Amino acid sequence: MKVVRLPGIHHDGNAVLVSGSLGHLLINAGTSWYQSLQVERIMGQLEGERLDRILLTSRRFPVSGGAAHVAEGFGGIPVHIHPDGQAALETGDFFTTWANRYDSDMPRTATEGLSEEDVFPMGGGEVIPLHLPGHASEGMGFHIPHLSTLVVGALLPRADRPTRWDLPGGSLIDIIASMKRIKHLNLSSIVPLQGPAIRGKEHVQEVLDRHLAFHEEAVNNEGRPPSSWDRPAPTAVWLTPRTPWPLEEQESV
């Protein structure tokens, strides 16, 4: 089984291609800005084989905006998302997807519901959906147990950037619960929304502890981030620490 991260371009989130003897699936599709290039990147990895389905971590434009085009590019394959996000994608809701903040329309995207019962066998391993609400009520992560890897979206934007809970469908309390659930998986690797994978069990735990402590502090601050932090850019689905958090650390992996 092979897992390839296709790094996000500009505002795009990371897309992750999972391949096995039983087929190929894509986790997250990026924005609609580079959707044609995304199809070409995937085709280059598949070398003539077929992409079977797309799994989305949320409705947010950085991961969902290109899903309709990518799905059509591979013959109209299914796009899966938690039921809480289906209506927004199928109606092209540019507000709750956050597409309006990118001065973009949200392509109407046909979807199929996704739950934790929908396990995807790949041959040599499987992909297991986990409901991880907080940044958005429909938030999902995709666990690849035999690789001790989790692919997430905006719940963990980067190692050095905590997620926002003030976007439509967000919940600070749910973020904390989802972070604790991830910690209990004792992962070796997390692929966040953007940037490099977070690797090494010790480093993964350090990153999760830092994010968890920040959000627990926000609860004690009546649900607000520190007043000294910069106001998020209109397109940002994360908060930016005033004193930078480390993005990468030296790890023995």
Which pLDDT score is estimated for 247? 86
* pLDDT band at residue 249 under the 50/70/90 scheme: low
pLDDT tens-place string over residues 160-211 = 999 999 999 999 999 999 999 999 999 999 999 999 999 999 999 999 999 9
Tell me: pLDDT of 251 over 70. Answer: no
Determine what percent of the chain falls in helix, strand and coil, rounding each to the nearest 5.
30, 20, 55
What residues does 27 pair with on adjacent strands?
16, 55
Tell me: pLDDT of 55 over 90. Answer: yes
Tell me: pLDDT of 252 over 50. Answer: no
Average pLDDT for 77-87 = 98
Q: Which of 60, 56, 152 is nearest to 97 (CA)?
A: 60
Tell me: pLDDT of 134 over 90. Answer: yes
Tell me: pLDDT of 126 over 50. Answer: yes
- The answer for residues whose C-beta is within 8 angstroms of residue 178's C-beta and 6 or more apart is 132, 133, 134, 139, 155
* pLDDT band at residue 136 under the 50/70/90 scheme: very high
- The answer for residues whose C-beta is within 8 angstroms of residue 40's C-beta and 6 or more apart is none
pLDDT, mean over the chain: 95
Average pLDDT for 85-108 = 96
3-state secondary structure of 113: strand
Share of the chain above pLDDT 90, in %: 95
Tell me: pLDDT of 228 over 50. Answer: yes
Which pLDDT score is estimated for 5? 97
Tell me: pLDDT of 125 over 90. Answer: yes
Average pLDDT for 83-112 = 97
What residues does 238 pair with on adjacent strands?
163
Tokens of 245: 């958090």
Looking at domain 2-220, its CATH architecture is: 4-Layer Sandwich (3.60)
Domain boundaries, the chain: 2-220
Write down the pTM of the prediction: 0.96
Q: Which of 225, 126, 127, 128 is nearest to 175 (CA)?
A: 225
CA–CA dist 193, 14 (Å, integer)? 6
Tell me: pLDDT of 250 over 50. Answer: no
CA–CA dist 114, 123 (Å, integer)? 20
Tell me: pLDDT of 34 over 70. Answer: yes
Tell me: pLDDT of 48 over 60. Answer: yes
